[in-house]
Structure 1
Amino acid sequence: MSLVDLIARADERGLAASGLACLDRCVPLLGGDDEVLRPLWSSLADGGADGDAWGERLAKARAELDCADPSADTVPGLGPDPAPGSGSGAETETEAETEGAVSDEDRAAALARRMLATAPGDPCASALRAWADACSAAALQIHRLLDVAADGDGPLVAAERRRQVAVLELLAGRGAGGLRPALEVSTEGRRVLRAVVSRRARGRS
C-alpha cells in the first residue's frame, strides 16, 4: 500500500504517531536532545492524542525547542508543502531568488520547526490527518535537501519513505502495540539524520 493510502486509512493514533515520528527524526535540526519528544510518545501510549496530556506535553516540547508559535506556516526559500509522499516540491520564484541567501540546512530546519509549530494541540481526526500529511511531505523534503543525490529519490529520501511506511503499517497492524517498534524505527532515522547533519557541519568547517 502506498504512503498516501496508509495516511488516508490511518486512525487517530496512527496519524498522530506518523506525524510525531516524522518530527522526531528531524529533532537534530532543531538542536534538541533525543528525549525531547518522548513525553508525546508516552501520551499516545496512555490514551492517544485526544487526551489533555498531549496538548500539555506538546506545549512543553515547543518551549524546550523554542518553537512556541503555532501559526508558523512559511519556510524561507520554499513554496507550499509538496504532496504527501512526493519528497519534492516545485521550485518557486521566491526559492530561486533566495537560493543564494538561505542554505539547505536552514530550509530543512525551518521545515522541521514548522512541523512542531503546526501540530494540533487539541486534535481531532481531520486536524491530525492534515498534520500527518504535512509532516510526511516536510520530512521527505528535509531529507531531499540534505541528500547526496541532486534530485529524485536519493538514499536518504528512499530510507525516510520506507520509515514512514513502516510506522503507519505498525500502527495499522498492532494499534497501541505498534508504538514501541514505531519509536525504534524513528530512533534509527534520527541517528542517521544526526550523523548527516554532523558530517555536513564538519564539511563547512
Structure 2
Amino acid sequence: MSLVELIGQADERGLAVSGLACLDRCVPLLGGDDEVLRPLWAGLADDAGAAEWGERLEQVRGKLGGEFGAGDGEADAGGSGDLSGSAVLSGSGEDEAVLLARRMLAAAPVERSAAGLRVWADACSVAALRIHRLLDPLKDAGDSVEARREGRTEGMSPLVAAELRRQITVLELLEGHGPAGLRPALEVSTEGRRVLRAVVSRRSRRRG
C-alpha cells in the first residue's frame, strides 16, 4: 500500500502520530532538543490527551521560538500537502529545509480532529520528504516527492528512501497495533531524527 493510501485511511491517532513523527525527525532544523516534542507524544497515548493537544502545541511553539501565527505556512485547506506557501522558496537547500520545518510546526492544528489532522499529516509527509531531498548529498532521480508517496520509488536517493520507509512504517504500526504502536513509532522517529541531525552537522562542518 502506498504512503498516500495509508494516510487516506488512517484514523485520528494515526494521523496525529504521522504528522508529529515527521515534525520530530526535522526538529534539528528548528534548533530543538530531542525532548521538545515529548509532551505532544505523551498526549497521544489515550483519548484524554486530545483536550490538551492545543495547549501543549503552543508550549512547544514557545520553546522553539519564532512567531507561529495562523496562516504562516498553514496547510492547504484542499489537502494538497503543500507547505511551500505563496512565496517562492529561495536560498540554500538548508534555508529551504528550515523554512519547510517551521511551516510544519506553524500548520499544526490546535484541535485534534481527524479532518484537520489529515490535511496536516499529508502536508508534513510532503514537507519532510522535500527536506530530506534538499539535504541529501546524492541526487534523487524522481520528478517529485509526490511520485514517491504514490509508490514510484525508482532511483531514490538514500536519505529520501529512508524517510519514505519511516513514514510508511509509522502508519503501519498505528494501523496494526493502535495505541500499542505509539512507542515503536516514536523509536522509528527518534532514529530518523538522529540521522538528520548528523546530516545537518556534517553540512555545518563543511561550511566551517
On whether the aligned pair clears a TM of 0.5, the verdict is: yes
The separation in 2 between residues aligned to 1:136 and 1:56, in whole angstroms, is 23
Q: Matched residues in 2 for 1:93 and 1:63: separation? A: 24
TM-score by length of 2: 0.84
Structure 2: gaps of 5 or more residues: 142-155
Give the Cα separation in 2 of the matches to 1:133 and 1:61.
Answer: 21
Is 2:70 the partner of 1:70?
yes
Distance change (3 Å), C-alpha of 1:23 and 1:94: closer
Amino acid at match of 1:66: G
Whether 1:34 and 2:34 are equivalent positions in the alignment is: yes
Tell me, what secondary structure is at the counterpart of 2:46? Answer: helix
| 8 Å contact from structure 1 (residues 13, 48) kept in 2 | no
**2:200 alignment partner, one of 186, 197, 202:** 197
For 1:136, the equivalent position in structure 2 comes to 125
Counterparts of residues 154-169 of structure 1 (less than 5 Å)? 154-169=157-172
- Which residue of structure 2 aligns with residue 21 of structure 1? 21
Name the counterpart of 1:77.
Answer: none
- Give the drift of 1:6: 0.3
Structure 1, unaligned runs of 5 or more: 75-81
Match of 1:4 in 2: 4
**1:163-182 to 2 correspondence within 5 Å?**
163-182=166-185
Between the aligned residues of both structures, percent identity stands at 65
Aligned partner of 2:134 among 126, 145, 152: 145
Give the number of aligned pairs. 187
Shift of 1:8: 0.3
Tell me the TM-score normalized by structure 1: 0.85
Contact kept, 8 Å, 1:40 with 1:54, in 2: the verdict is yes
Once the two structures are superposed, what CA deviation does each residue of 1:37-65 show, in whole Å capped at 9, x if it has no partner? 0000000003276x221111100000111
